[in-house]
Structure 1
């Protein structure tokens, strides 16, 4: 079992760091990088064994094309520096996952444009590559994007994890990505690309257990993980930068732990949290899931 960190962006917002739409968590890289480092430190001290670089929003969708062209590498370098400093200051062996975000916006498979994948992904990959221990393509909802980005990453033996975001609909008989693609389709791609782990993130904890069961049936030997968000259900009209969604009040650390125990019992061995999941949540996971 490895414990992952929680939602850096909403933790920045909770602490009063500069945080607004559309820049989201990227704003702190310009204006308050020390707070980014402190959030990483607090997640590590809570028990996280893997932290993810805070460059999720460093894409044109959030910061605009001009700023991306001019400042993306600087911002991503700042994100890496703060993660590395957090590991150094805690004197731990915490792994750093390089965030490969959805290039065209969270949940927005409809905005996918294969002609612009390389021009967005390559600067991210090139800047992260010297300093990350593994790759984490997160909040993915478009299988073609997953394949195209994977093809651009150096094949040097570092683990490559893919994390899908699911439709927040517990009544579905099968789990679906936000694009409508199925886990059967996802599993075929994972096998084709020889991906090291598949996770589910940025969706309701209530929908993740079913997805873990499905994926373990499809690929029994694959490492599986989960890091849910604390948002209310996001329907097919949801987008990632038209406001700041409220965080559920019922999903306290103990309730989140109950979900995580179910994921672990179903075979998940990589567990953390996404938007709204705090160091207090991660501490509970670390105490109880590592027993």
Structure 2
């Protein structure tokens, strides 16, 4: 164990970055299609590096690679060879590292002293992201354990080989996929540090209906999973989930909600209205009381949200 463990032990709050795909969309980039934001790794990678730089300038301590939708199978379906697909996944780490190098070099010493050196989190999204049908929010798919492992293994290996400091296994809606990932880490990536976060539609279960206590116990038993929590879910479900998780584990908790809007997988659009009852900062402060240490934003949150969060927490 190393950098992530040290960061968790040395900080009261660790600030994640915010949305990538929906922020690109807000800036006028078309993210429709199965590759979503990952298509800009092929068409215009500079826009991804620019957004990484924006989040670091906003105060993020962990920068998430743009590999959520970048899987070997998905890129091959798009027409790329396996080598080019793996090179594209490597690029997601290279862009994040280039952004970190640029922003940290330009940062004044006084500002560096106020924050930890940022870490690069290799983003491991669920099999649902490859399906691109919104099943991140239902967990309605079922593969065998070896099939899950075969799907995730090459991306994880590539992210680590490229220099990711840790893995961010996120938006997991399915207990069997979680089991496969945790076992894969234990048996093949025993030195890696990771956090895992799940999606949920109520305050007691992850999206496939499995109790939050069951998946929390799986994470608690893992030597590689140093923190766990909820992401890309409506803020209203977090209170109950965090309290239930805390009854199972003492590990640091992770919270990065979406805006509270509902994602329609058929049209690839966000419906209803955002939950403006609390700001991202207000929620982070509240959830901190239940053990949340790694805090940030997911879909439909912005660099401005992260900047406000960082400024308030760091004074």
TM-score (norm 1): 0.87
Secondary structure in structure 2 of the residue aligned to 1:104: helix
> Do structure 1's residue 165 and structure 2's residue 204 form an aligned pair?
no
1:72-104 per-position Cα deviation (integer Å, ceiling 9, x unaligned): 312212211110100110127210001111013
- 2:77 pairs, out of 52, 65, 68, with 65
Distance change (3 Å), C-alpha of 1:101 and 1:67: farther
**Equivalences for residues 131-142 of structure 1 within 5 A:** 131-142=163-174
Q: Give the whole-Å Cα distance in 1 for the aligned partners of 2:205 and 2:149.
A: 26
1:232 is matched with 261
Extract unaligned runs of 5+ from structure 1: none
8 Å contact kept, 2:220–2:251: no
Any idea what the Cα deviations from partners look like across 1:224-244, whole Å, max 9, x if unmatched?
01000114245xxx53x6422
Instruction: Tell me how far apart the structure 2 counterparts of residues 247 and 75 of structure 1 sit (CA, whole Å).
Output: 35
Partner residue, 2:299: 275
Query: Take 2:29 and 2:216, find their aligned partners in 1: how far apart are those partners?
Result: 39
Does residue 210 of structure 1 match 2:232?
A: no
Partner of 1:177: 206
CA shift for structure 1 position 135: 1.0
> 1:242-269: CA deviations, max 9, x gaps?
42225845649x7222222211222211
Q: Name the counterpart of 1:76.
A: 89
Report the RMSD for the aligned CA atoms in angstroms.
2.4
| CA distance in structure 2 between the aligned counterparts of 1:247 and 1:62, rounded to whole angstroms | 29
Contact 1:137 1:146 in 2 (8 A): no
Picking from 166, 187, 190, the partner of 2:219 is 190
Specify whether residues 248 and 61 from structure 1 end up closer, same or farther in structure 2 by C-alpha distance, changes over 3 A only: farther
Partners in 2 of 1:29 and 1:247 — Cα distance?
30
1:144-159 pair list within 5 angstroms: 144-153=176-185, 154-159=188-193
Separation (CA, whole Å) in 2 of partners of 1:247 and 1:270: 27
Q: Give, in whole Å, the separation in 2 of the partners of 1:83 and 1:111.
A: 31
What is the aligned residue count? 280
Q: Does the 8 Å contact 1:21/1:244 carry over to 2?
A: no
For normalisation by structure 2, the TM-score amounts to 0.81
Aligned counterpart, 2:43: 31
How far is 1:191 from its partner? 2.5
Structure 1 residue 59, shift from structure 2 partner:
3.4
Relative to structure 1, the CA distance from residue 155 to residue 110 in structure 2 (aligned partners, 3 Å threshold; closer, same or farther) is same
Q: Distance in 2 between matches of 1:160 and 1:9?
A: 22
| Alpha carbons of structure 1 residues 113 and 31: separation in structure 2 relative to 1, 3 Å | same
Is the 1:5–1:51 contact (alpha carbons within 8 Å) kept by the matching residues of 2? yes
Q: Is the 8 Å Cα contact of residues 18 and 31 (structure 1) preserved in structure 2? A: no
